[in-house]
């Protein structure tokens, strides 16, 4: 049966939530699919993946070494850039440090996708289809954190991991702030300090090699600066909705403008845009085309969808108290 409830004068139909068994089945299917994708890429190509540097950092940390001194061009772990992740990411990856690189990568990709689909289907099975998107495929193949952190939007206890990737993590926290995310940040930071007291300064030094601090550094872009992404500012009109705050925050944080930071079926159109625009003279040219494609094919449609919905939803209690205080304040007429 369909449940009907009223909210602020509007009648809203709410379908019954999917059963836990169905959600678990979908999550397992997503895990297997992503594990296969990750395995095919990690076994068929010797090139390191993004997660590999975090895995190596966890191993170095447990061995008493400083990962920031060992990851980078020409270093022990040869990577095109310094370690841009905070040490909290290495701390979170420690349970996988005893495994081989390929096994750790496959398991991480499987867990990330499974958690994402489990979280995304808490109200409807429809969001599970995004696991077939180009974004989800690229996230699994490159073994990215994005699906796992996105799962924290629907599974609050996963918020303890948001500090592993502060840019995306901050956007998710602003959309749905939780106390457990703050506790997780404090705990993982403290553990990192116990292993390496200098890691905050080492991390900040590494960040000086990005385009955010140095001209010509590793390029990072905020999607809101692109033509299509600029429409994300309209999400403020639906600020009470957590998904609106998420879209706006994600558009504002600097990030690598690649599809694995997004999860939407429109990513296939963005992938086609990139494909027909190739070849590129360098990575910077590819990133500039990518940020435009993401802005128009993902952020713009997401904003259109948001604007079709009413400005209702759960907001943090502190904000609600402030709004009630402001609305109850008497106004004087001169």
Q: Considering only CA atoms, which of 272, 276, 267 is closest in space to residue 294?
A: 267
- Give CB contacts under 8 A, 24+ apart, made by 27-30: 27/114, 27/115, 27/117, 27/118, 27/121, 28/114, 29/117, 30/113, 30/114, 30/116, 30/117, 30/128, 30/131
Q: What is the pLDDT, as a whole number, of residue 7? A: 45
User: Can you tell me the distance from the alpha carbon of 69 to that of 218, in angstroms, rounded to the nearest whole number?
Assistant: 18
Mean pLDDT of 85-100: 97
Mean residue pLDDT of the chain comes to 88
Higher pLDDT, 49 or 109: 109
SS3 45: coil
Distances (CA, A) of 306 to 137, 210, 320: 25, 33, 21
Instruction: Please report which residue ranges of the chain form alpha helices under DSSP H.
Output: 20-44, 50-62, 87-92, 101-120, 134-141, 146-151, 166-175, 179-195, 199-207, 242-252, 267-277, 283-294, 300-307, 317-328
Which range scores top for mean pLDDT: 49-53, 72-76, 280-284, 312-316? 72-76
184 Cβ partners below 8 Å, 6+ apart?
159, 160, 161, 162, 163
Which range scores top for mean pLDDT: 1-10, 27-36, 323-332? 27-36
Q: Considering only CA atoms, which of 208, 138, 146 is closest in space to residue 171?
A: 146
Q: Residue 108 pLDDT more than 70? A: yes
Q: Considering only CA atoms, which of 237, 259, 258 is closest in space to residue 303?
A: 237
Q: What is the pLDDT, as a whole number, of residue 138? A: 87
Residue 45 neighbours by CB distance under 10 Å:
10
The tokens describing 4, both together, are 């009907």
Q: Considering only CA atoms, which of 294, 302, 305, 289 is closest in space to residue 270?
A: 294
pLDDT in tens, 199-217: 999 999 999 988 877 777 7
SS3 77: strand
SS3 255: strand
């Amino acid at each position: 049966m369909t449940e009907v409830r009223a909210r602020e004068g509007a009648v809203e139909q709410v379908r019954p939530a999917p059963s836990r068994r169905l959600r678990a089945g979908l999550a397992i299917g997503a895990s297997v699919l992503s594990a296969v994708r990750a395995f095919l890429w990690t076994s068929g190509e010797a090139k390191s993946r993004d997660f590999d540097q975090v895995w190596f950092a966890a191993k170095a940390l447990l061995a008493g070494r400083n990962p920031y001194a060992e990851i980078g061009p020409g270093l022990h772990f040869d990577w095109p850039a310094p370690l841009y992740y905070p040490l909290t990411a290495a701390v979170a990856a420690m349970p996988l440090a005893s495994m081989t690189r390929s096994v750790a990568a496959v398991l991480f990709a499987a867990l990330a996708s499974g958690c994402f689909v489990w979280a995304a289907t808490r109200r409807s099975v429809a969001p599970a289809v995004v696991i077939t998107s180009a974004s989800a495929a690229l996230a699994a193949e490159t073994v990215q954190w994005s699906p796992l952190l996105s799962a924290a939007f629907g599974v609050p206890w996963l918020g303890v991991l948001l500090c592993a990737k502060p840019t995306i993590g901050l956007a998710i926290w602003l959309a749905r702030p939780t106390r457990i995310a703050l506790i997780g940040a404090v705990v993982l930071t403290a553990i990192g300090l116990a292993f390496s007291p200098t890691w905050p300064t080492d991390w900040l030094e590494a960040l000086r090699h990005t385009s955010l601090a140095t001209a010509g550094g590793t390029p990072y872009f905020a999607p809101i600066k692109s033509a299509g992404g600029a429409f994300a500012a309209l999400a403020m009109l639906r600020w009470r909705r957590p998904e609106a705050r998420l879209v706006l925050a994600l558009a504002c944080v600097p990030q690598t403008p690649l599809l694995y930071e997004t999860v939407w079926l429109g990513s296939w159109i963005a992938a086609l845009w990139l494909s027909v625009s190739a070849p590129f003279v360098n990575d910077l040219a590819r990133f500039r085309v990518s940020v435009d494609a993401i802005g128009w094919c993902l952020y713009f449609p997401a904003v259109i969808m948001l604007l079709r919905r009413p400005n209702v939803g759960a907001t943090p209690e502190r904000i609600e108290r402030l709004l009630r205080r402001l609305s109850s304040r008497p106004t004087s007429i001169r």
